[in-house]
Amino acid sequence: MTLWFVFALMTVAAIFAVLWPLSRARQASLGASLGGNEAVVYRDQLAEIDRDMAGGIIGVAEAAAARVEISRRLLAASDQSQSEAPVQSNLKLRRTAATLALVGLPVIAAGVYLALGSPQLGDFPLSERSRAADANQPLANLVAQVEAHLEKNPTDGRGWTVLAPVLSRLGRYDEAVRAYRNAIIYAGDSADRRADLGEALMGATGGVVTAEAKSEFERAVALEADDAKANYFLGLAAEQDGRKADAAAIWQGMLAKAPSDAPWRPMVQAALVRVGGVSAPGGVSAPALPQGAMAAAKDMSEADRSTMIRGMVDRLATRLKQNGDDVEGWLRLVRAYLVMGDRDKAMSALADARQAVANDAERLRQLNEGLKNLGLDG
């Protein structure tokens, strides 16, 4: 309501600005105040000549010549002002102008404003919105607040420790990596943080244990030999590198040392099944994604998830292009393309794979076997 009141006040002010001179017409016409005119300027110029001559700036002869010229202009100017029509007062015109202001101005203003404006929207200054923080606020806003706090207090280790896992869960891995690094710098090094950092790095690369991530896991293990997460991912790294026996050894070692009620037992057992180490009870299906990436994928929209998967597949393809010995990898790639419905790419990957392992009879046999299982030609 106040908004419309303010608009009304502003409109009245604008109309008043037009009507005011119209209402003062009578006095103005009587005084016939036509403002300044040329004659005034020339008279001032004449006075100026006298002053200049007195000050010695121009000579007597020049002054005389200038005076003649200016007097001529002065005469011309007064001739002109006399020939001009006298000032009139046209009541009809004034009424038209007044009507224009009273009707036209609000109509134009309202018409244009209603077409463009959003009168239903109030103000949203940031300070008021932050104060209204409550449980209903989306997670992103809370994160933004913590981030804002950390921009100002970048050495707050506790803040970084709180922020990092949230970012990781939101799938903002690059920022999570930075947050974990800062947490390590300002809140102290620990095996957990190193392992989490490694996991975030993996998330950023779509689930591939890069050299960078691997070195973080190694550091975590160096700090605490039994760190479950770091050990699990070191095993995964070995698996991704094609060293299945090493992976199995690492995971078996974990299972041997772990208490029987460790929550991660089923997952490691499943992984072990995957690399053909020991068969696990119940035949749990193997998680294809690292834990973090999996959790993130669950919250993602369909589009985001497919982008993420696509990214992982692309990375796998790149890795295989550099090192084509990994038959298992080739099979995974072909399968991925088939699942994604991209048969052409699957076929070209298949051809690449054949070419890559052509020199190795044993690998070629494994490849053909695998392809047969996928339902492709032998």
Partner 1 sequence: MIAESGHYALVLALALALIQSTVPLLGARWRDVALMNVARSAALAQLLFVGVSFIALVTLHVTSDFSVVNVYENSHSLKPLIYKITGVWGNHEGSMLLWVSILALFGGLVAAFGNNLPLSLRAHVLAVQAWIASAFYLFILITSNPFLRIANPPIEGRDLNPVLQDIGLAVHPPMLYLGYVGFSISFSFAVAALLEGRIDAAWARWVRPWTLVAWIFLTLGIAMGSYWAYYELGWGGWWFWDPVENASLMPWLAGTALLHSALVMEKRNALKVWTILLSILTFSLSLLGTFLVRSGVLTSVHAFATDPTRGVFILLILCIFIGGSLTLFAWRASALKQGGLFAPISREGALVLNNLFLTTACATVFIGTLYPLALEVVTGEKISVGAPFFNLTFAPLFMPLMIAVPFGPLLAWKRGDLLGAAQRLVAAGIAALVAIALVWAWTYGGATLAPLAIGLAVFVIVGVLCDLAERVGLFRIPLSISWRRARGLPRATWGTAFAHAGVGIALIGIVCETTWNSEYIGTMKPDDVAAIAGYQLRLDGMTQRQGPNFREMIAQFTVSLDGEKLSLMTPSKRNFTTRGSSTTEAALLTRGASQLYISLGDTAADGAIAVRIYHKPLVLLIWWGPVLMAFGGLLSLSDRRLRVGAPKPAKAVRALQAAE
Please report, as residue ranges, which positions from 98 to 117 form the binding site for partner 1 (by CB under 8 A).
100-101, 104-105, 108-109, 112-113, 116-117
Near partner 1 in 196-215, by CB under 8 A = none
Burial 208-219 (b: 16+ CB within 10 A, else e): bbbeebbebbeb
Write down the least CB distance from residue 9 to partner 1, Å. Answer: 10
Write down the least CB distance from residue 321 to partner 1, Å. Answer: 24
Contact flag: residue 187 with partner 1 (CB under 8 A): no
**Among residues 122, 263, 281, 378, which is the contact residue for partner 1, using CB under 8 A?**
122
Here's the x/- map for partner 1, 30-49, by CB under 8 A: it reads as --xxxxxxx-xxx-xx-xxx
Which range of residues in 11-19, 230-238, 244-252, 304-312 is near partner 1 by CB under 8 A?
11-19
Write down the least CB distance from residue 177 to partner 1, Å. Answer: 13
Contacts of 111 (CB under 8 A, 6+ apart): none
Instruction: Name the residue with tokens 């009424």.
Output: 95
**Among residues 79, 131, 132, 152, which is the contact residue for partner 1, using CB under 8 A?**
152
Joined together, the tokens standing for residue 277 give: 């180490």
**Among residues 75, 99, 102, 129, which is the contact residue for partner 1, using CB under 8 A?**
129
The nearer residue to partner 1, 1 or 256, going by C-beta atoms, is 1
> Would the CA dihedral through 100, 106, 109, 110 be positive or negative?
negative
What is the rounded CA–CA span in Å between residue 294 and residue 209? Answer: 15
How many residues interact with partner 1 (rule CB under 8 A)?
A: 88
Contact flag: residue 186 with partner 1 (CB under 8 A): no
Contact flag: residue 61 with partner 1 (CB under 8 A): yes
**Among residues 82, 118, 301, 322, which is the contact residue for partner 1, using CB under 8 A?**
118
What is the rounded CA–CA span in Å between residue 112 and residue 106? Answer: 10
Write down the least CB distance from residue 157 to partner 1, Å. Answer: 14
Distances (CA, A) of 199 to 14, 32, 250, 294: 64, 87, 18, 11
- What phi and psi values does residue 133 have, to the nearest 5 degrees? -65, 130
Joined together, the tokens standing for residue 127 give: 């300070």
Contact flag: residue 151 with partner 1 (CB under 8 A): yes
Contact flag: residue 298 with partner 1 (CB under 8 A): no
Write down the least CB distance from residue 305 to partner 1, Å. Answer: 23
Write down the least CB distance from residue 187 to partner 1, Å. Answer: 17
Contact flag: residue 134 with partner 1 (CB under 8 A): no
Contact flag: residue 263 with partner 1 (CB under 8 A): no
Contact flag: residue 13 with partner 1 (CB under 8 A): yes
What is the rounded CA–CA span in Å between residue 249 and residue 70? Answer: 110
Contact flag: residue 85 with partner 1 (CB under 8 A): yes
Burial 135-161 (b: 16+ CB within 10 A, else e): eeeeeeeebeebeeebeeeeebeebbb
Residue 364's identity, in one-letter code, is: L
Distances (CA, A) of 191 to 178, 194, 221: 17, 5, 7
Contact flag: residue 297 with partner 1 (CB under 8 A): no
What is the rounded CA–CA span in Å between residue 296 and residue 292? Answer: 6
Contact flag: residue 77 with partner 1 (CB under 8 A): yes
Residues 284 and 273 sit within 8 Å (Cβ to Cβ): yes
Residue 202's identity, in one-letter code, is: M
Near partner 1 in 237-256, by CB under 8 A = none
- What phi and psi values does residue 273 have, to the nearest 5 degrees? -60, -40
The nearer residue to partner 1, 22 or 317, going by C-beta atoms, is 22
What is the rounded CA–CA span in Å between residue 223 and residue 345? Answer: 44
Contact flag: residue 21 with partner 1 (CB under 8 A): yes
**Among residues 78, 97, 169, 360, which is the contact residue for partner 1, using CB under 8 A?**
97
Could you tell me the maximum CA-CA distance found in the chain, to the nearest angstrom?
Answer: 122
Contact flag: residue 65 with partner 1 (CB under 8 A): yes
Contact flag: residue 17 with partner 1 (CB under 8 A): yes
What is the rounded CA–CA span in Å between residue 26 and residue 32? Answer: 10
Contact flag: residue 132 with partner 1 (CB under 8 A): no
